[in-house]
Amino acid sequence: MGLLLQLHLAYLLGADQFNAVPEPDQLVQIPVEVLQVQDSVPHLEVRLVDETQRSMEFPVSLALLASARVPLDADERDSLQSCMGYVLGVPMRWVSDERFRIWELHCGPVHRVYAEFKAAYEAAARDAQRAMEWHGGAILLLTVLLLWLERRFQRRWGLA
């Protein structure tokens, strides 16, 4: 059990590294119509030019251990509903489902540029790193406790 928790923690750290802040020339522009806005991942449900619907998210740590510092206030989130515009972003790697991360947003009255998303993501990533260190320590203690209990059980029942 402890080993599985440690592997999961390692995956979260690795997946965040594989989905680090892209360079501006790596961003893909996609025209969208925003259908739904949420505070949690995925943040946006959009309709693309070909009428397909897709979920998109603002940059947050995959570990989700730190609060998302998306540079949008409540009024801006509300004004995104049903607006038409475009996003610049990248597909995410090393995740189980198809996900698209937004690094620039231009929709209706809302215009947030790459530098704003980058700064917010880097601040959240620092918080996530601290949280991961604490969680890693807790997982290590849990692993030691489980090993101790297993060893004690084996001795008690003569299995060791």
Q: Mean pLDDT in each 10-residue stretch from start to end of the chain (160 residues)?
A: 66 72 96 92 93 93 59 88 96 84 96 93 77 74 85 83
- State both tokens at 156: 């008690």
Cα four-point dihedral sign 120, 121, 123, 124: positive
Tell me which DSSP letter residue 57 carries. B
Query: Which residues constitute the domain of residue 6?
Result: 2-153
Contact assessment for residue 118 and residue 103, using Cβ atoms and an 8 Å cutoff: yes
Length reported for the chain: 160
In this structure, is residue 159 part of a structural domain? no
In this structure, is residue 132 part of a structural domain? yes
pLDDT at 40: 80
The enclosing domain of 138 has a CATH number of 2.40.50.500
In this structure, is residue 160 part of a structural domain? no
Using CA atoms, how far apart are residues 2 and 79, in angstroms rounded to an integer?
A: 45
In this structure, is residue 93 part of a structural domain? yes
pLDDT at 63: 65
In this structure, is residue 34 part of a structural domain? yes
Q: What 3-state DSSP class applies to 101?
A: strand
pLDDT at 52: 97
pTM for the predicted model, two decimal places? 0.73
| Residue (of 109, 100, 132, 157) closest to 10 by Cα position | 132
pLDDT at 66: 47
- Partners of 112 in the beta sheet? 105
pLDDT at 60: 82
In this structure, is residue 123 part of a structural domain? yes
pLDDT at 147: 83
In this structure, is residue 140 part of a structural domain? yes
As for how many domains the chain has, the answer is 1
In this structure, is residue 158 part of a structural domain? no
- State both tokens at 8: 């999961």
Q: What is the dihedral of CA 56, 58, 63, 67, to 10 degrees?
A: -140
Q: Is the peptide bond before 22 cis (omega within 30 degrees of 0)?
A: no
- Kindly state the helix (H) or strand (E) to which residue 131 belongs, with its residue range: helix 114-156
